[in-house]
């Protein structure tokens, strides 16, 4: 276990420098970096994001966070995920919460080793802030820290970003490919579906808008909404 911890910490520190310097592809509320691509289908949806690590490469999603958000305001990180090559390991995939120029890591997969994830089937991670988070980059932090302790120790620190990253291909035979969908940060869910347009109203799909910006009276009402910018 101690060897696993040292290996994960060393590689995560090395890969973090690469991730922070990666070019981003702009999108609404999030951006993709490294070897990350939009794929179809998703989990009970049309769209998801595939993250791939080959050897020491990486892929990830960078999410927008509200200005002034602190660690104490974070209460949920979760995602649906499906491995299509390799498995979890080597610190990936994971959420990373940017605080004070370093990170709190929340690993995706079965604790405490975060290895041996199933391949070819969708799994929900549950809230990965429990049972452990990795606060070892922060003063007084540990690899197996509890969120309750993290809130006491670091609750007032500002969160400057949140990412989902995979970079553990080196640890699982060379390739680690995972598809993620329905990523939740607190109560916000990212489904990675494109923004609706007037074409989204056709073929009866106007009836799918059961909440904002709908519901609509009919297809014409829906088309008019998007044609005139709401």
pLDDT in tens, 144-164: 999 999 999 999 999 999 999
Chain centre distance of CA 191: 11
Tokens 């090395």 sit on residue: 14
For the chain, residues classed under CATH 2.60.120 are 2-190
Phi-psi region of 69 (alpha: psi -120 to 50; beta: other; left: phi over 0): beta
Q: Which two tokens stand for residue 136?
A: 């070892």
Is residue 163 a contact partner of residue 19, using CB atoms and an 8 Å limit?
yes
pLDDT in tens, 10-24: 444 444 444 443 443
CATH class as words, domain 2-190: mainly beta
pLDDT of the chain, 230 residues: tens digit per residue: 434 443 454 444 444 444 443 443 334 799 999 999 999 999 988 899 999 999 999 999 999 999 999 999 999 999 999 999 999 999 999 999 999 999 999 999 999 999 999 999 999 999 999 999 999 999 999 999 999 999 999 999 999 999 999 999 999 999 999 999 999 999 999 999 888 888 889 989 888 787 667 889 999 999 999 888 77
Q: Please count the other Cβ atoms lying within 10 Å of the Cβ belonging to residue 120.
A: 8
């Amino acid at each position: 276990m101690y060897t696993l911890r040292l290996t994960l910490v060393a590689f995560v520190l090395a890969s973090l420098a690469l991730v922070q310097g990666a070019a981003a592809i702009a999108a609404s509320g999030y951006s993709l970096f490294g070897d990350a691509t939009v794929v179809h289908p998703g989990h009970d949806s049309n769209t998801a994001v595939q993250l791939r690590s080959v050897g020491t490469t990486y892929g990830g999603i960078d999410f927008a966070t509200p200005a002034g958000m602190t660690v104490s305001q974070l209460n949920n990180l979760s995602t649906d995920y499906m491995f299509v090559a390799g498995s979890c390991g080597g610190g990936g995939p994971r959420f990373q919460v940017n605080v004070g120029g370093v990170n709190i890591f929340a690993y995706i997969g079965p604790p405490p080793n975060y290895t041996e994830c199933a391949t070819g089937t969708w799994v929900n991670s549950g809230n990965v802030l429990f049972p452990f988070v990795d606060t070892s980059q922060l003063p007084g932090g540990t690899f197996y820290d509890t969120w309750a302790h993290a809130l006491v120790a670091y609750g007032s620190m500002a969160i400057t970003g949140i990412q989902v990253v995979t970079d553990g291909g080196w640890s699982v035979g060379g390739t680690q490919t995972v598809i993620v969908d329905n990523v939740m940060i607190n109560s916000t869910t990212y489904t990675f579906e494109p923004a609706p347009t007037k074409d989204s109203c056709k073929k009866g799909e106007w009836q799918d808008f059961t909440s904002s910006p709908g519901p609509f009276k009919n297809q014409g009402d829906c088309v008019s909404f998007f044609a005139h910018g709401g």
